[in-house]
Homo-oligomer: A and B are copies of this chain.
Amino acid sequence: MGSSLRELTTERGSVPSVVLVRPQMGQNIGAAARAMLNFGFEHMRLVAPRDGWPNPEATAMASGASVVLDHAGQFPDLGTALADCDYVYATTARSRGLVKPVLTPEAAMAEARAMIAAGKKVAVLFGPERAGLENDDVAHANAIITVPVNPGFYSLNLAQCVLLMAYEYARQTSDTPGARLELAGADLATAQDVQHLGDHFEERLSKAGFFFPEDKAPSMKLTLRNMFSRWGLTRTEVQILHGVLRKLVGRDSSGGS
């Protein structure tokens, strides 16, 4: 179990800790653990969980993420839970009459990332399912995170809120931040393959009288060539197109209709 944790992060403390304050339902604790592990968050702290700890319902719900629960710390109060933390965010939907900076998840996780890179310990607080964090909880935090939801509709549950923070943190720390673009399963044809396919097309289409009138032929040919190169054809697709061409334009003695 410990080794699978170590595979996730190169060093302990390299992601924020998730602090669940007075969580109520065991299954929500388990769902939060799952949400976390999707994005490599593995440090959970529990403050006064309503139904005690460990909680079999949490473990059942966590399933493959039970490693997060196995390593979760349990604390009697929030002050104790945060004793070793350098910077603390409180997630809350409402402005509280407390004077705190209010950040989006994006801005907060950017800050958190910088602080963690500087060796700081960062925690994010999540309140009980029903009522959220109380003012006394928020007073422990350096800043507030509010998810910028539709002003007319807010229905994020605990695990979804945890999910968004972990997603946002992972998004920003990704090796390929937002620009990952690849072709799945591609065995791409070489430029020469594509060139030969263009030659084949031109040859067959010329014989079939396709390039007419003559003064339009060069631009028609250019359009064809450009299409083939733009498509990013695979080897298999090139072979299929050769076959299509033989069938459609004729003269292939082995061909049918």
Contacts and interface: CB of A to CB of B under 8 A. Distances in A.
A1 interface: no
B37 A184 contact: no
B184 A102 contact: yes
Given A95-B185, A185-B96, A180 B102 contact: yes
A183 interface: yes
A164 interface: yes
A223 interface: no
A150 interface: yes
A38 B156 contact: yes
Contact of A64 (B104, B106, B153): B153
B150 A184 contact: no
Interface centre among A40, A104, A184 (most CB of B within 10 A): A184
Nearest to A64: B153
A225 interface: no
A62 B185 CA distance: 38
Interface stretch (A75-83, A169-177, A246-254): A169-177
A256 interface: no
A250 B229 CA distance: 84
Contact of A155 (B38, B150, B177, B179): B38
A101 interface: yes
Nearest to A164: B167
Contact of A181 (B34, B103, B179, B234): B103
Contact of A107 (B63, B149, B180, B184): B180
B153 A65 contact: yes
Contacts of A156: 38, 163
Nearest to A167: B164
Nearest to A234: B99
Given A35-B160, A106-B179, 8 more contacts: A7-B152, A38-B149, A38-B156, A99-B234, A101-B183, A106-B171, A107-B179, A164-B167
Interface of A: 4, 7-8, 34-35, 37-40, 63-65, 95-104, 106-107, 110, 144, 147-150, 152-156, 159-160, 163-164, 167, 170-171, 174, 176-186, 232, 234, 237
Pairs of residues from A and B, 7 with the lowest C-beta to C-beta distance, nearest first: A106-B178, A95-B184, A97-B185, A37-B153, A34-B155, A38-B149, A102-B184
